[in-house]
């Protein structure tokens, strides 16, 4: 079984953060509208709901919620992205923070959002820690709404070839076979992504702390089979404090 070295994991986290600092302007321009599947999540978010948006980026999910009477907090570890979010939505609250170690009291939120952010977390250990933090800050019976990219698509095959070769060259002691580095458009900067298989993602939630409410795959708002999808969606309820 592969376990990423702690120093390598921290270096990757630092590099991902730095890339987002540098691409914040371009990223903000490309993330002005919600993804079609976002509206499927609204049934879990009622009025007077306390919502925590982890990896909030430029705050675009808040745009979908602003008509509701909610108590919203967006957290991101990129100061440039937080600044963009504050400009885009001055009536919402945004803070600089780290989803691996949240400065938030236990049982604080009714809903936690993690939209396209967990796949940037390197190492199984840190991903488990993030999921544990999500559970800790949720109220009992609270809802987690989580999405990650489905990277098992034809266009990403060259990246898998490189990762698999690297995995074997380093005898599995450096990166996982499904750890990828993808360019930002035509920019030479690359971001780290962990490519989740469905069974792997589910394992982080198959314990006594969670009840899976929904688990499905989407391609532009349509629910499809995994191999045809762009995103994996997981809705889980906290059942244990």
H helical segments located in 48-93 = 60-65, 79-88
**Domain ranges for the chain:** 6-238
Going by pLDDT thresholds of 50, 70 and 90, the confidence category of residue 2 is low
The pLDDT of residue 38 is 87
Going by pLDDT thresholds of 50, 70 and 90, the confidence category of residue 228 is very high
Mean pLDDT of the chain: 93
Burial of residue 109, with CB atoms counted within 10 A of its CB: 0-12 exposed, 13-18 middle, 19 or more buried:
buried
Q: Are 214 and 205 in contact (CB under 8 A)?
A: no
- Confidence check: pLDDT of 157 > 70: yes
For 192, the enclosing helix (H) or strand (E) is strand 187-194
pLDDT tens digit sequence for 26-46:
889 888 777 778 889 999 998
Burial of residue 63, with CB atoms counted within 10 A of its CB: 0-12 exposed, 13-18 middle, 19 or more buried:
middle
pLDDT tens digit sequence for 69-104:
899 999 999 999 999 999 999 999 999 999 999 999
Q: List the CATH code of the domain at 6-238.
A: 3.40.50.150
pLDDT tens digit sequence for 112-144:
999 999 999 999 999 999 999 999 999 999 999
Task: Mean pLDDT check: name the lowest of 14-28, 176-190, 199-213, 220-234.
Answer: 176-190
| 20 closest CA partner among 47, 57, 52, 56 | 57
- Confidence check: pLDDT of 197 > 80: yes
């Amino acid at each position: 079984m592969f376990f990423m070295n702690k120093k390598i994991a921290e270096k990757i986290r630092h590099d991902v953060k730095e890339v987002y600092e540098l691409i914040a302007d371009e990223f903000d321009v490309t993330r002005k509208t919600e993804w079609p599947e976002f509206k499927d999540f609204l049934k879990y978010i009622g009025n007077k709901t306390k919502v925590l948006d982890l990896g909030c980026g430029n705050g675009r999910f808040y745009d979908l919620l602003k008509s509701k009477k909610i108590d919203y907090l967006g957290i991101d570890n990129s100061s440039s992205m937080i600044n963009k979010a504050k400009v885009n939505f001055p009536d919402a609250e945004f803070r600089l923070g780290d989803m691996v170690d949240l400065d938030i009291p236990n049982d604080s939120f009714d809903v936690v959002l993690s939209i396209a952010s967990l796949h940037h977390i390197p190492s199984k250990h840190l991903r488990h820690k993030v999921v544990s933090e999500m559970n800790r800050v949720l109220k009992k019976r609270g809802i987690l709404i989580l999405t990650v990219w489905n990277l098992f698509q034809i266009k990403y095959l060259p990246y898998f070839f490189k990762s698999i070769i690297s995995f074997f060259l380093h005898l599995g002691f450096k990166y996982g076979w499904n750890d990828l580095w993808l360019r930002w458009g035509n920019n030479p900067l690359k971001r780290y992504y962990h490519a989740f298989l469905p069974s792997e993602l589910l394992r982080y939630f198959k314990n006594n702390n969670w009840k899976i409410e929904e688990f499905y795959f989407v391609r532009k708002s349509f629910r499809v089979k995994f191999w045809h999808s762009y995103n994996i969606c997981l809705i889980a309820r906290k059942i244990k404090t």
